[in-house]
Amino acid sequence: MASYYYLVATLPTLRLDGPLSFSTETFLTLCKTQVSERHYHLLCMALSG
């Protein structure tokens, strides 16, 4: 089982009343080098609706 503690710990704080720190595309680009191919695919599916 993969552990992504560092990746999650470095994500910016999410605020419901403020702008996003970066776009979904930027988020996926950053994740692509940090997660497995399978997990990247799952992220893409989850974010596409």
The predicted model scores a pTM of: 0.72
- 34 HSE (CA, 13 A, CB side): 15
Q: Return the domain boundaries, the chain.
A: 22-49
Give me the pLDDT at residue 1, please: 56
Give me the pLDDT at residue 25, please: 93
| pLDDT tens track for 1-49 | 578 888 888 888 878 888 888 889 999 999 999 999 999 999 999 999 7
